[in-house]
Amino acid sequence: MRKNIVLLMVALGLFSGCSSKSNFYQLHPKSPQTTGSSQSKRGTVIGIAEVEVAEYLHKSEIVTRMSAGRINVHETDLWAGSFAKNIQSVLMHNIAVLLPRYTFLNYPWEEPIDDRYRIYVTIDRFDGYETGSVTLQGRWSFVNKEDNKVLYSESINYTAQGGKTLDEIIDTQSRLLERLSRRIANKIRTRL
């Protein structure tokens, strides 16, 4: 009995030193300015497929880079939801603001809505050094589903310098997503 009490006290002592306070973060749209009217007719539906992210980014913890081959997993600094879905949502918002004449939907959605066109994004690297340098690497493509034809595809390798805090690194990541959104919107404009 006495042994159980001692074990319980030791366990409580160990847990009392652990902090359960976590910080939650989200990428956010940068809401680029548009010159078009917000009353524009919304025509063609363009779907944004689920974003594929590298396995090391499938964590709820935020990851920063310490060197080319070493990452730091922040145990108490967490994404507020799925990182991949957050990227998809920010891309949709940014591109929809840039191209208000189209309807953008994040896949999956309820049928029977049919998207003739779809955007696919794969992220191989999306992290920042604790010095504030942030990198977004991967590829994206714009596909005509009806004709089963890739209308445009390219690799991306963007880097931007931001601040050193996690808030600033995440803001820089959001800026890089805005840059990608602008690139995608420009290519859609030239293809449709």
Tell me the pLDDT tens digit for each residue of 146-157: 999 999 999 999
Q: Is the dihedral of CA 9, 10, 16, 22 positive or negative?
A: negative
Asked whether 159 and 134 are in contact (CB, 8 A), the reply is: yes
What domains can you pick out in the chain, each with its CATH number?
40-191 (3.40.50.10610)
The model's pTM: 0.85
> Residue 8: is its pLDDT beyond 50?
no
Question: 27-41, 42-56, 104-118: lowest mean pLDDT where?
Answer: 27-41
Question: 14-28, 60-74, 95-109: lowest mean pLDDT where?
Answer: 14-28
Mean pLDDT confidence for 53-80: 96
Confidence (pLDDT) at 32: 54
The 10 Å Cβ neighbour count of residue 52 is 15
Tell me the pLDDT tens digit for each residue of 106-119: 988 877 778 899 99
Tell me the pLDDT tens digit for each residue of 171-186: 999 999 999 999 999 9
